[in-house]
Amino acid sequence: MTDLTKISIADALKGLKDKSFTATELTQAHIDEMGAQKHLNAYITQTPEQALEQAKASDERYANGTAKTLDGIPLGVKDLFCTKGTKTTAASKILGEFVPPYESTVTQKLLDDGSVFLGKTNLDEFAMGSANTTSHYGNVINPWTSPNNPDVSYVPGGSSGGSAAAVAAGIAMGTTGTDTGGSIRQPASFCGIVGIKPTYGRCSRYGTVAFASSLDQAGVFARTVEDSALLLQSISGHDPKDSTSMNIDVPNFMAGMDGNLKGLRIGIPKEYRMDGMPEDIQKMWDQGAEWLKSEGAEIVDISLPHTKYALPTYYIIAPAEASSNLSRYDGVRYGLRVDGEDLDDTYAKTRGAGFGDEVKRRIMIGAYVLSAGYYDAYYIKAQKVRRLIRDDFTKAYEKCDVILTPTAPSGAFPIGANEEDPIKMYLNDVFTVPTSLAGLPGISVPAGINADGLPLGLQLVGKAWDEATLFKVADVVEKAAQFSGLNSTSRNVA
Amino acid sequence: MSQNMDIKTVERVAMLARLDLTEEQKNMLGDQLGNILGFVEQLSEVDTDNVEPLASVVDSSLPLRKDEVTDGQKKDDILANSPEQNEDFFVVTKIVE
């Protein structure tokens, strides 16, 4: 029998419709595999009973002909999305045993389309990190191992590390993620799967624990481009509960996936050719351009002159917004409380005990750059440079339709690497942060294997609201790359 | 370029952010914040005269809706996660003597 944890969502939907297997069997196969892959620590909370109940309801819908677009598909939810009645932690100690009394819009849409929730996936605390090493609930292990260093555990990337590892390891058919500066695309690249961050405003942020509100955007992970389009289709659309979710029609994301790139211009930004870029990444990037050219696309050189200022801009704006957003964790209304001598002392003790080091660091940077005397020099300055970064993209899109870059400057690294210096960790997001600052959609597609035998992704960046063209081009990359994904022999064994 | 943030500044910012820090954390943060601020300092190279700050990539102005009650009667839901409550209230440490 087919291994139900390895097939695509599209094939699973066919199998469910044909009655080749039931939603209950599909869900049970994933629950069994979650047990076998527990050492990856991809989930913070597993909800197998709820999943089996949802699967049973799904089987009834298949039996009476009322099945919906994602009916019976077992998914994981990044533990940053509020799920009614299921503990939501943001991977932080400060949220304690918080059980949301409401459902986020993104997860509600997936439920409305019939999907099954296996549990809440691990992440960096409050989505702050690039290696999933800042979670209060422990590190996530990348299911890929390197033949060169078989005993070494690699990071899955971050912040949506659990979501990416779960999909790669076959313990979810797809997962939700959030991306503030690369938190979907970089882990997708590290785990050899597809991850898309849509245009800012495409998906509702209602019920998503906030990190940096002008950058945070929900998205999805899956093992194929088609599956990622199916999932994004479900979670997209205007929501009156989020004033920044845009009232713009959601097109059929798969309509253009015909393999023909004739007339399409692909931009290659010269500023992304960085000193010291590993040879295998440069090679993959050149190869990617060749693949697109051979399907009729025209390759054009473009310039994004403010690229080098994107990271410093991001590391002012994101912490500033975070320090403001995270002021709500005061020990009064929900989450952890550590009593102090007076109310101020209770706030400080609660927050001192509840936040981890990276979150404290970012709150401190944010509070500093927003404080009297520094606000203009740092925060307003960064917002001005942000406009220049966005204008770079606007100008570039006069010459091209889609931009092609590597997703990250390296493949996955061993757990523990890049920890000694925060800036070294931040550099992981050098290719993904500019897109986030400009609010543009970006997708990472697995395209090759590096010298360590670990996956590498190519990033495609589109014009605002043009996810459909991204999927069209990503489909060509996927077919050309013939990326085989994770086979059972290369999986980490406990 | 990078310079430590002095402990007094660390303490002042920690107070603003209501973060209780150990001495060890203060020292570590002094080093790291100094490095990060040194890193972001390169923005001063960029000429931003006559550039408007960009606060949001969403160009349209925020939509307005009718000011009417659409939700409510959720007292129990709202209080359900509080660390301490008494009848209909969140309870905190005594503020007024």
Tens digits of residue pLDDT in A386-410: 999 999 999 999 999 999 999 999 9
Tell me the pLDDT band of B2, cut-offs 50, 70 and 90: low
Task: Examine the pLDDT at A245 and tell me if it is beyond 90.
Answer: yes
- Residue A283 falls in the annotated catalytic set: no
Tell me the pLDDT band of B1, cut-offs 50, 70 and 90: very low
The residues in B 57-76 lying below 8 A from A, measured between CB atoms, are 57-58, 60, 62-63, 65, 74
Which residues in chain B are contacts of A242 at CB distance < 8 A?
none
The reply to whether A196 falls in a domain is yes
Contacts of B96 (CB under 8 A, 6+ apart): none
The reply to whether B66 falls in a domain is no
Does the ipTM surpass 0.90? Answer: yes
CA-based R_g, chain A, Å: 21
The reply to whether B72 falls in a domain is no
Residue A39 has a pLDDT of: 97
Tell me the pLDDT band of A226, cut-offs 50, 70 and 90: very high
Q: How far apart are the C-alpha atoms of A123 and A111, rounded to whole Å?
A: 22
Model confidence pLDDT, tens digit, residues A87-125: 999 999 999 899 999 999 999 999 999 999 999 999 999
Overall number of domains in chain A = 1
Which residues in chain B are contacts of A360 at CB distance < 8 A?
19, 21, 25, 29
Task: Examine the pLDDT at A489 and tell me if it is beyond 50.
Answer: no
The reply to whether A436 falls in a domain is yes
Nearest to A160 by CA among A179, A136, A144, A145: A179
Residue A494 has a pLDDT of: 32
Phi, psi of A302 (to 5 degrees): -130, 170
Residue A1 has a pLDDT of: 60
The reply to whether B54 falls in a domain is no
Tell me the pLDDT band of A492, cut-offs 50, 70 and 90: very low
Task: Examine the pLDDT at A449 and tell me if it is beyond 50.
Answer: yes
Pick A309's closest partner by Cβ from B13, B18, B42. B42
The reply to whether A342 falls in a domain is no
The reply to whether A97 falls in a domain is yes
- Choose from A214, A364, A375 for mutation: most chain B CBs within 10 A: A364
The reply to whether B29 falls in a domain is yes
CA-based R_g, chain B, Å: 23
Question: Where on the phi/psi map is residue B73: left (φ > 0), alpha (ψ -120 to 50), or beta?
Answer: left
Tell me whether A465 touches chain B (CB under 8 Å).
Answer: no
Give A317→chain B minimum CA distance, Å: 9
The reply to whether A249 falls in a domain is yes
Nearest to A308 by CA among A274, A339, A266: A274
Q: Is A1 exposed, middle or buried (0-12, 13-18, 19+ CB in 10 A)?
A: exposed
The reply to whether B94 falls in a domain is no
User: Which pair of tokens denotes residue B34?
Assistant: 């100094």
Query: What is the CATH classification number for the domain harbouring A22?
Result: 3.90.1300.10
The reply to whether B90 falls in a domain is no
> Which one from A58, A104, A183, A189 is the annotated catalytic residue?
A183
Model confidence pLDDT, tens digit, residues A331-380: 999 999 999 999 999 999 999 999 999 999 999 999 999 999 999 999 99
Model confidence pLDDT, tens digit, residues A12-64: 999 999 999 999 999 999 999 999 999 999 999 999 999 999 999 999 999 99
Residue A484 has a pLDDT of: 81
Arithmetic mean of pLDDT, B19-34? 96
Mean pLDDT value across chain A: 95
pLDDT higher for A145 or B97?
A145
Overall number of domains in chain B = 1
Model confidence pLDDT, tens digit, residues A426-443: 999 999 999 999 999 999
Instruction: Note whether B93 contacts A312, CB cutoff 8 Å.
Output: no
Pick B13's closest partner by Cβ from A333, A345, A371. A371
Give B90→chain A minimum CA distance, Å: 7
Minimal Cα distance from A422: which residue of B?
B32
Residue A423 has a pLDDT of: 87
Query: What is the CATH classification number for the domain harbouring B20?
Result: 1.10.20
The reply to whether A38 falls in a domain is yes
- Residue A228 falls in the annotated catalytic set: no
* Domain membership of residue B40 as a residue range: 7-44
Instruction: Note whether A423 contacts B74, CB cutoff 8 Å.
Output: no
The reply to whether A441 falls in a domain is yes
Residue A488 has a pLDDT of: 40
The residues in A 257-316 lying below 8 A from B, measured between CB atoms, are 306, 308-309, 311-313, 315-316
The reply to whether B19 falls in a domain is yes
Residue B86 has a pLDDT of: 83
Strand (E) or helix (H) holding A461? strand A455-462
Arithmetic mean of pLDDT, A180-185? 97
The residue with tokens 């076998």 is A36
Which residues in chain A are contacts of B81 at CB distance < 8 A?
97-99, 101, 333-335
Tell me whether A343 touches chain B (CB under 8 Å).
Answer: yes
The reply to whether A330 falls in a domain is no
- Residue A183 falls in the annotated catalytic set: yes
The reply to whether B76 falls in a domain is no
* Domain membership of residue A22 as a residue range: 9-258+412-490
